[in-house]
Amino acid sequence: MTLLTLQTHIRAPKEIIFDLSRNIDIHILSATQTGEQAISGTTSGLIGLGETVIWSGRHFGIIRYHTSHIPILDYPDYFVDVMTKGHFKSFRHEHRFHYDNGITLMTDTLYYEMPFGVFGALFDRLVLRKYLYGFLQKRNTVLKELAEKPNQ
């Protein structure tokens, strides 16, 4: 199992960032490079507890589908999305939000496993880990820019 952690400091209340983080439309905006679309389930606005979304996007030149479900949501501190169907053996993304002195620390913790044994592990080590980290960084940059806009 691979573990990725990314922390982002944002000058905005955690309630705003929490909602931006679970907003389907914002995710689509942050993933323009992959052409991601929400094609079924909750396809726009805020995804909530117990809800599911099916994503379609082009990764590594191939259109892939990823079904995410929200089994845990503790507004505005924590939520989890897990893959119920897709190309990973397992996939869990934890989102934590801590507010202190005008700044929210947003922590993404991503746990995933690749199928295909040694070949999957090699692909993860050589390519996927860096790709997913960059994907999260891009998403968080968009969230930060939106949250820190004046009159937000």
Residues 129-149, mean pLDDT to the nearest whole number: 96
Neighbours of 23 (CB within 10 A): 18
Contact 106, 143 (CB under 8 A): yes
What is the helix (H) or strand (E) element at residue 58, kind and residue range? strand 52-59
Given a cut of 80, whether residue 150 has pLDDT beyond it is no
Question: What's the pLDDT at 151?
Answer: 63
| Whole-model pTM over 0.85 | yes
**What is the tens place of the pLDDT at every residue in 12-21?**
999 999 999 9
Quickly state the pLDDT bin for 137 (edges 50, 70, 90): very high
Can you read off the two tokens belonging to residue 113?
């496993």
Quickly state the pLDDT bin for 27 (edges 50, 70, 90): very high
Residues 17-40, mean pLDDT to the nearest whole number: 96
Question: What's the pLDDT at 50?
Answer: 98
Helix (H, G, I), strand (E, B) or coil at 137: helix
**What is the tens place of the pLDDT at every residue in 48-94?**
999 999 999 999 999 999 999 999 999 999 999 999 999 999 999 99
Can you read off the two tokens belonging to residue 73?
């949501």
Counting Cβ atoms within 10 Å, is residue 147 exposed (0-12), middle (13-18) or buried (19+)? Answer: buried
Question: What's the pLDDT at 91?
Answer: 98
Residues 6+ apart with CB under 8 A from 18: 75, 76, 77, 79, 95, 97
Annotated domain spans of the chain: 2-147
**What is the tens place of the pLDDT at every residue in 90-124?**
999 999 999 999 999 999 999 999 999 999 999 99
Residue type (1 letter), 18 = F
Given a cut of 80, whether residue 152 has pLDDT beyond it is no
Q: In terms of CATH architecture, what is 2-147? A: 2-Layer Sandwich (3.30)
